[in-house]
Amino acid sequence: MAKDKYKVIDDSGVTFFFKYDPDDPEQLHIYVRHLTTIDDALETFFEGKTSHNKQRQRYETYTSTHGLYWFWLNQATKKVMIITCFTLEAGRYES
């Protein structure tokens, strides 16, 4: 079994982990699945409104154009795993 690959980005004192897509290992999951970029995800994280979804054990952050699902890998050291980032053009995304 292949080990997952991640792109690691440091921004404003937070370290973000973005998973590469298993079906297209040269591209990030957020791009392959939703045509969103690291910049979309970072802007949503820093500019959006966040709530915690206890049922799914994740945070959900929204701006007027994007949604972001994420969780803390380590809150004390500000390490964040990005689950996915998506546009809201077709309405709110459900998983």
Tokens linked to 79: 């390490």
Measure the CA dihedral 28/32/34/40, to 10°: 30
Buried b (16+ CB within 10 A) or exposed e, 48-76: beeeeeeeeebbbbbbeebbbbbeeeeee
Report residue 1's pLDDT band, with 50, 70 and 90 as the boundaries: very low
State the Cα–Cα distance between residues 63 and 73, nearest whole angstrom: 23
Query: Has residue 13 got a pLDDT over 80?
Result: yes
Report residue 92's pLDDT band, with 50, 70 and 90 as the boundaries: low
Q: 39-78, pLDDT tens digit by residue?
A: 999 999 999 999 999 999 999 999 999 999 999 999 999 9
2, 23, 27, 76, 79 from 38: Cα distances, Å: 24, 19, 11, 23, 15
Report residue 3's pLDDT band, with 50, 70 and 90 as the boundaries: confident
Report residue 90's pLDDT band, with 50, 70 and 90 as the boundaries: low
Residue, of 81 and 1, whose pLDDT is higher: 81
